[in-house]
Protein backbone atom coordinates (compact mmCIF):
# COMPACT_ATOMS: atom_id res chain seq x y z
CA UNK A 1 0.00 0.00 0.00
CA UNK A 2 1.39 3.41 -0.97
CA UNK A 3 1.98 5.71 1.99
CA UNK A 4 1.82 9.48 1.74
CA UNK A 5 2.33 12.24 4.29
CA UNK A 6 -0.15 15.12 4.46
CA UNK A 7 0.39 18.26 6.52
CA UNK A 8 -2.65 20.24 7.62
CA UNK A 9 -4.80 17.11 7.43
CA UNK A 10 -7.73 18.63 9.32
CA UNK A 11 -7.99 21.82 7.22
CA UNK A 12 -10.78 22.51 4.72
CA UNK A 13 -8.67 21.37 1.76
CA UNK A 14 -6.49 18.98 3.78
CA UNK A 15 -9.36 16.88 5.13
CA UNK A 16 -10.80 16.53 1.64
CA UNK A 17 -7.38 15.45 0.34
CA UNK A 18 -7.12 12.87 3.14
CA UNK A 19 -10.63 11.55 2.48
CA UNK A 20 -10.09 11.14 -1.26
CA UNK A 21 -6.65 9.55 -0.84
CA UNK A 22 -8.06 6.99 1.61
CA UNK A 23 -10.95 6.27 -0.78
CA UNK A 24 -8.36 5.62 -3.52
CA UNK A 25 -6.53 3.08 -1.38
CA UNK A 26 -3.64 5.12 0.00
CA UNK A 27 -2.36 4.93 3.54
CA UNK A 28 -2.28 8.51 4.80
CA UNK A 29 -0.15 9.85 7.63
CA UNK A 30 -1.51 13.27 8.50
CA UNK A 31 -0.07 16.00 10.64
CA UNK A 32 -2.47 17.73 13.04
CA UNK A 33 -1.93 20.25 15.82
CA UNK A 34 -3.47 18.20 18.62
CA UNK A 35 -4.32 14.63 19.61
CA UNK A 36 -7.98 15.61 19.80
CA UNK A 37 -8.01 16.66 16.15
CA UNK A 38 -6.08 13.56 15.14
CA UNK A 39 -8.44 11.19 16.93
CA UNK A 40 -11.46 12.83 15.36
CA UNK A 41 -9.98 12.43 11.88
CA UNK A 42 -8.99 8.82 12.59
CA UNK A 43 -12.57 8.06 13.59
CA UNK A 44 -13.84 9.70 10.40
CA UNK A 45 -11.29 8.17 8.02
CA UNK A 46 -10.72 4.70 9.47
CA UNK A 47 -7.66 2.49 9.75
CA UNK A 48 -5.97 3.75 6.57
CA UNK A 49 -5.35 7.06 8.35
CA UNK A 50 -2.84 7.62 11.11
CA UNK A 51 -1.65 10.93 12.48
CA UNK A 52 1.33 12.67 13.99
CA UNK A 53 0.93 15.70 16.25
CA UNK A 54 2.90 18.69 14.97
CA UNK A 55 1.86 21.60 17.23
CA UNK A 56 3.49 24.19 14.97
CA UNK A 57 5.04 23.64 11.56
CA UNK A 58 6.76 27.00 12.04
CA UNK A 59 9.29 25.40 14.41
CA UNK A 60 12.65 24.33 12.99
CA UNK A 61 12.55 20.59 12.31
CA UNK A 62 8.78 20.50 12.82
CA UNK A 63 8.27 17.40 10.68
CA UNK A 64 11.55 15.62 11.47
CA UNK A 65 10.19 13.23 14.09
CA UNK A 66 7.08 12.38 12.08
CA UNK A 67 9.06 11.51 8.96
CA UNK A 68 11.68 9.54 10.90
CA UNK A 69 8.82 7.30 12.08
CA UNK A 70 7.54 6.82 8.53
CA UNK A 71 10.53 6.33 6.19
CA UNK A 72 8.30 4.45 3.73
CA UNK A 73 6.40 7.61 2.72
CA UNK A 74 6.70 8.27 -1.04
CA UNK A 75 4.96 11.64 -1.33
CA UNK A 76 4.68 14.71 0.92
CA UNK A 77 1.60 16.87 0.41
CA UNK A 78 2.04 20.18 2.20
CA UNK A 79 -1.40 21.73 2.63
CA UNK A 80 -0.81 23.38 6.02
CA UNK A 81 -0.59 27.15 5.80
CA UNK A 82 -1.13 30.15 8.06
CA UNK A 83 -3.94 32.40 6.81
CA UNK A 84 -3.47 35.88 8.25
CA UNK A 85 -4.51 38.99 6.37
CA UNK A 86 -3.61 41.71 8.88
CA UNK A 87 -1.04 42.13 11.62
CA UNK A 88 0.67 44.78 13.72
CA UNK A 89 3.97 43.08 12.87
CA UNK A 90 3.51 41.81 9.29
CA UNK A 91 7.05 40.56 8.79
CA UNK A 92 7.29 38.46 11.94
CA UNK A 93 3.64 37.40 12.15
CA UNK A 94 2.97 36.62 8.49
CA UNK A 95 5.83 36.84 5.99
CA UNK A 96 8.62 35.03 7.83
CA UNK A 97 6.32 32.28 9.22
CA UNK A 98 4.95 31.57 5.72
CA UNK A 99 8.47 31.28 4.33
CA UNK A 100 9.84 29.33 7.29
CA UNK A 101 6.90 26.94 7.41
CA UNK A 102 7.45 26.00 3.78
CA UNK A 103 11.19 25.61 4.26
CA UNK A 104 10.69 23.45 7.36
CA UNK A 105 8.55 20.99 5.41
CA UNK A 106 11.01 20.86 2.51
CA UNK A 107 14.04 20.43 4.78
CA UNK A 108 12.40 17.62 6.74
CA UNK A 109 11.38 15.84 3.54
CA UNK A 110 14.92 16.24 2.19
CA UNK A 111 16.70 15.01 5.33
CA UNK A 112 14.30 12.38 6.67
CA UNK A 113 12.24 11.21 3.70
CA UNK A 114 14.52 8.68 1.98
CA UNK A 115 11.72 7.41 -0.26
CA UNK A 116 9.91 10.67 -0.93
CA UNK A 117 9.76 11.18 -4.69
CA UNK A 118 7.19 13.97 -4.92
CA UNK A 119 6.50 17.10 -2.90
CA UNK A 120 3.11 18.66 -3.65
CA UNK A 121 2.70 22.13 -2.23
CA UNK A 122 -0.65 23.87 -1.78
CA UNK A 123 0.17 27.41 -2.82
CA UNK A 124 -2.42 29.98 -3.92
CA UNK A 125 -3.48 32.05 -6.89
CA UNK A 126 -2.43 34.96 -4.67
CA UNK A 127 1.15 33.99 -5.57
CA UNK A 128 0.25 34.56 -9.23
CA UNK A 129 -1.34 38.01 -9.25
CA UNK A 130 -2.19 41.12 -7.26
CA UNK A 131 -5.96 41.07 -6.70
CA UNK A 132 -6.05 44.88 -6.79
CA UNK A 133 -5.04 44.84 -10.46
CA UNK A 134 -7.11 43.52 -13.36
CA UNK A 135 -4.87 41.12 -15.29
CA UNK A 136 -5.05 37.79 -17.11
CA UNK A 137 -3.55 35.03 -14.98
CA UNK A 138 -1.95 31.83 -16.31
CA UNK A 139 0.19 29.08 -14.80
CA UNK A 140 3.33 31.12 -15.51
CA UNK A 141 2.10 34.31 -13.81
CA UNK A 142 3.68 35.69 -10.65
CA UNK A 143 2.47 38.33 -8.23
CA UNK A 144 4.90 41.25 -8.66
CA UNK A 145 4.61 42.41 -5.03
CA UNK A 146 7.91 43.32 -3.35
CA UNK A 147 8.91 42.24 0.13
CA UNK A 148 9.04 45.85 1.33
CA UNK A 149 5.57 46.54 -0.06
CA UNK A 150 4.14 43.45 1.64
CA UNK A 151 5.66 44.55 4.95
CA UNK A 152 4.11 48.00 4.77
CA UNK A 153 0.79 47.50 2.96
CA UNK A 154 -1.89 45.25 4.47
CA UNK A 155 -3.46 44.85 1.02
CA UNK A 156 -0.26 43.19 -0.20
CA UNK A 157 0.44 41.09 2.89
CA UNK A 158 -1.43 37.85 2.13
CA UNK A 159 -0.38 37.81 -1.52
CA UNK A 160 3.18 38.57 -0.50
CA UNK A 161 3.27 35.72 2.00
CA UNK A 162 2.05 33.25 -0.62
CA UNK A 163 4.40 34.60 -3.29
CA UNK A 164 7.58 34.53 -1.22
CA UNK A 165 6.78 31.14 0.32
CA UNK A 166 6.29 29.55 -3.09
CA UNK A 167 9.39 31.21 -4.54
CA UNK A 168 11.42 29.83 -1.63
CA UNK A 169 10.13 26.35 -2.47
CA UNK A 170 11.27 26.56 -6.09
CA UNK A 171 14.63 28.00 -4.98
CA UNK A 172 15.07 25.09 -2.56
CA UNK A 173 14.56 22.58 -5.37
CA UNK A 174 17.01 24.45 -7.58
CA UNK A 175 19.75 24.82 -4.95
CA UNK A 176 19.46 21.66 -2.83
CA UNK A 177 18.51 19.29 -5.66
CA UNK A 178 16.61 16.86 -3.39
CA UNK A 179 15.56 13.39 -4.51
CA UNK A 180 11.96 14.59 -4.88
CA UNK A 181 10.30 16.83 -7.44
CA UNK A 182 8.03 19.80 -6.71
CA UNK A 183 4.53 20.50 -8.00
CA UNK A 184 2.40 23.38 -6.75
CA UNK A 185 -1.39 23.66 -6.72
CA UNK A 186 -2.55 27.28 -6.84
CA UNK A 187 -6.28 27.61 -6.11
CA UNK A 188 -8.46 30.70 -6.42
CA UNK A 189 -11.35 31.06 -3.91
CA UNK A 190 -12.30 27.52 -2.86
CA UNK A 191 -15.93 26.46 -2.33
CA UNK A 192 -17.89 23.28 -1.75
CA UNK A 193 -18.70 20.92 1.11
CA UNK A 194 -16.51 19.93 4.01
CA UNK A 195 -15.09 16.42 4.00
CA UNK A 196 -17.52 15.30 6.73
CA UNK A 197 -21.07 16.33 7.58
CA UNK A 198 -20.45 16.37 11.32
CA UNK A 199 -18.03 19.29 10.87
CA UNK A 200 -20.52 21.39 8.90
CA UNK A 201 -22.14 23.28 11.78
CA UNK A 202 -19.17 25.52 12.51
CA UNK A 203 -16.06 24.48 10.58
CA UNK A 204 -16.30 26.44 7.33
CA UNK A 205 -13.27 28.71 7.12
CA UNK A 206 -11.75 31.29 4.79
CA UNK A 207 -13.56 31.52 1.42
CA UNK A 208 -15.72 28.47 2.21
CA UNK A 209 -17.34 30.53 4.99
CA UNK A 210 -18.82 33.08 2.56
CA UNK A 211 -21.84 30.95 1.65
CA UNK A 212 -22.83 30.25 5.30
CA UNK A 213 -22.48 34.00 5.98
CA UNK A 214 -24.86 34.82 3.11
CA UNK A 215 -27.30 32.22 4.48
CA UNK A 216 -27.30 33.95 7.87
CA UNK A 217 -27.99 37.43 6.47
CA UNK A 218 -31.29 38.86 7.72
CA UNK A 219 -33.87 40.29 5.31
CA UNK A 220 -33.31 43.85 6.56
CA UNK A 221 -29.50 43.60 6.40
CA UNK A 222 -27.08 44.32 3.58
CA UNK A 223 -25.20 41.40 2.08
CA UNK A 224 -21.45 41.79 2.50
CA UNK A 225 -19.65 42.32 -0.79
CA UNK A 226 -17.05 39.87 -2.06
CA UNK A 227 -16.18 38.68 -5.55
CA UNK A 228 -13.58 36.84 -7.55
CA UNK A 229 -13.00 33.56 -9.32
CA UNK A 230 -13.89 30.29 -7.63
CA UNK A 231 -13.21 26.57 -7.82
CA UNK A 232 -14.67 23.47 -6.18
CA UNK A 233 -12.64 21.98 -3.33
CA UNK A 234 -12.91 18.51 -4.90
CA UNK A 235 -11.24 19.80 -8.06
CA UNK A 236 -8.42 21.21 -5.93
CA UNK A 237 -8.08 17.76 -4.38
CA UNK A 238 -8.06 16.13 -7.82
CA UNK A 239 -5.05 18.24 -8.82
CA UNK A 240 -3.15 17.15 -5.69
CA UNK A 241 -3.86 13.49 -6.38
CA UNK A 242 -2.98 13.89 -10.06
CA UNK A 243 0.39 15.26 -8.94
CA UNK A 244 0.92 12.18 -6.76
CA UNK A 245 -0.02 9.75 -9.52
CA UNK A 246 1.47 11.40 -12.62
CA UNK A 247 4.67 13.11 -13.68
CA UNK A 248 3.80 16.75 -13.11
CA UNK A 249 7.22 17.68 -11.79
CA UNK A 250 8.05 21.36 -12.05
CA UNK A 251 4.45 22.30 -12.84
CA UNK A 252 2.25 24.96 -11.29
CA UNK A 253 -1.37 23.82 -11.47
CA UNK A 254 -3.91 26.65 -11.50
CA UNK A 255 -7.21 25.59 -9.90
CA UNK A 256 -9.84 27.94 -11.30
CA UNK A 257 -13.34 27.59 -12.72
CA UNK A 258 -15.66 30.61 -12.90
CA UNK A 259 -16.63 34.04 -11.58
CA UNK A 260 -18.61 34.33 -8.35
CA UNK A 261 -19.80 37.06 -6.03
CA UNK A 262 -22.10 37.24 -3.02
CA UNK A 263 -24.99 38.41 -5.23
CA UNK A 264 -24.62 35.23 -7.30
CA UNK A 265 -24.70 33.20 -4.07
CA UNK A 266 -27.78 35.07 -2.87
CA UNK A 267 -29.68 34.58 -6.11
CA UNK A 268 -28.65 30.91 -6.22
CA UNK A 269 -30.08 30.31 -2.73
CA UNK A 270 -33.31 32.15 -3.55
CA UNK A 271 -33.81 30.10 -6.72
CA UNK A 272 -32.76 26.70 -5.37
CA UNK A 273 -34.06 26.97 -1.81
CA UNK A 274 -37.18 29.20 -1.86
CA UNK A 275 -37.94 28.52 1.80
CA UNK A 276 -34.51 29.77 2.80
CA UNK A 277 -34.56 32.56 0.24
CA UNK A 278 -37.72 34.23 1.50
CA UNK A 279 -35.87 35.28 4.67
CA UNK A 280 -32.90 36.77 2.78
CA UNK A 281 -32.48 40.31 1.38
CA UNK A 282 -32.62 41.12 -2.32
CA UNK A 283 -29.03 42.32 -2.40
CA UNK A 284 -28.06 44.23 -5.54
CA UNK A 285 -29.90 42.74 -8.54
CA UNK A 286 -28.24 43.59 -11.83
CA UNK A 287 -24.78 44.08 -10.32
CA UNK A 288 -23.26 40.77 -11.38
CA UNK A 289 -22.04 41.70 -14.86
CA UNK A 290 -20.36 44.85 -13.59
CA UNK A 291 -18.57 42.80 -10.96
CA UNK A 292 -17.51 40.17 -13.49
CA UNK A 293 -15.95 42.85 -15.68
CA UNK A 294 -13.95 44.31 -12.80
CA UNK A 295 -11.92 41.27 -11.74
CA UNK A 296 -8.92 39.45 -13.17
CA UNK A 297 -9.42 36.63 -15.65
CA UNK A 298 -7.87 33.18 -15.42
CA UNK A 299 -6.63 30.94 -18.22
CA UNK A 300 -5.76 27.52 -16.83
CA UNK A 301 -5.99 25.64 -20.12
CA UNK A 302 -2.51 24.18 -19.49
CA UNK A 303 -3.66 22.66 -16.18
CA UNK A 304 -6.82 21.33 -17.82
CA UNK A 305 -4.71 19.72 -20.56
CA UNK A 306 -2.16 18.22 -18.19
CA UNK A 307 -4.67 16.74 -15.75
CA UNK A 308 -7.61 16.12 -18.07
CA UNK A 309 -10.01 17.53 -15.51
CA UNK A 310 -13.61 18.58 -16.08
CA UNK A 311 -14.18 21.52 -13.75
CA UNK A 312 -17.15 21.40 -11.38
CA UNK A 313 -19.66 24.25 -11.88
CA UNK A 314 -19.92 26.48 -8.81
CA UNK A 315 -23.68 25.90 -8.66
CA UNK A 316 -22.85 22.33 -7.63
CA UNK A 317 -20.27 23.56 -5.11
CA UNK A 318 -22.85 25.88 -3.56
CA UNK A 319 -25.63 23.29 -3.57
CA UNK A 320 -23.52 20.56 -2.00
CA UNK A 321 -22.38 22.97 0.72
CA UNK A 322 -25.91 24.20 1.52
CA UNK A 323 -27.28 20.65 1.53
CA UNK A 324 -24.53 19.65 3.92
CA UNK A 325 -25.27 22.57 6.25
CA UNK A 326 -28.96 21.62 6.28
CA UNK A 327 -28.13 17.96 7.01
CA UNK A 328 -25.85 19.00 9.86
CA UNK A 329 -28.55 21.20 11.39
CA UNK A 330 -31.10 18.39 11.18
CA UNK A 331 -28.69 16.00 12.86
CA UNK A 332 -27.99 18.20 15.88
For residue 284, the model assigns a pLDDT of: 94
pLDDT score of 45 more than 80: yes
d(CA 328, CA 332): 6
Give residue-wise pLDDT tens across range 179-224. Answer: 999 999 999 999 999 999 988 776 666 778 899 999 999 999 999 9
Over residues 137-145, mean pLDDT: 98
The predicted structure's pLDDT at residue 88? 80
Element (H, E) at 31: strand 27-32
C-alpha span between 194 and 286 (Å, rounded): 31
Pick the closest to residue 307 from 232, 267, 255, 230 (CA basis): 255
Structural domains in the chain, CATH included, are 3-192+232-256+297-312 (3.40.50.720)
Q: What average pLDDT does range 56-79 have in this prediction?
A: 96
Check whether 331 has a pLDDT greater than 80: no
pLDDT of residue 203: 60
* Predicted pLDDT at 23: 98
More confident residue, 87 or 19: 19
What global pTM score does this model have?
0.96
**Residue 58 pLDDT exceeds 70:** yes
Confidence of residue 62 (pLDDT cuts 50, 70, 90): very high
Tell me the CB-side half-sphere exposure of residue 282, using CA atoms within 13 A. 4
CA 131 from chain centre, in angstroms, equals: 17
Query: Strands 189-191 and 136-137, how do they pair?
Result: unpaired
Q: Is pLDDT of 85 > 90?
A: no
Percentage of residues of the chain with pLDDT beyond 90: 88
Position 37 confidence tier, pLDDT thresholds 50, 70, 90: very high
Residues with Cβ within 8 Å of residue 271, at least 6 apart in sequence: 277
Q: Are 117 and 77 in contact (CB under 8 A)?
A: no
Amino acid sequence: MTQVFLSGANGFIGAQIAKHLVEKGYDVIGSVRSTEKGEKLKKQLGSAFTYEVVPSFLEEGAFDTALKKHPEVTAFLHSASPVIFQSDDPENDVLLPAIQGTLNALKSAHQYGPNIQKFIYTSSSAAMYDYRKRVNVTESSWNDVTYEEAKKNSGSLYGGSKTFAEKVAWEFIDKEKPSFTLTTVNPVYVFGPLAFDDDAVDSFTSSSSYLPKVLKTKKNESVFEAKGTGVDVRDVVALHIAAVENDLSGKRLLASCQYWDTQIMLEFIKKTYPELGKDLPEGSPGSIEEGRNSVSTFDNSETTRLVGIKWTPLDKSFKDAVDQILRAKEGR
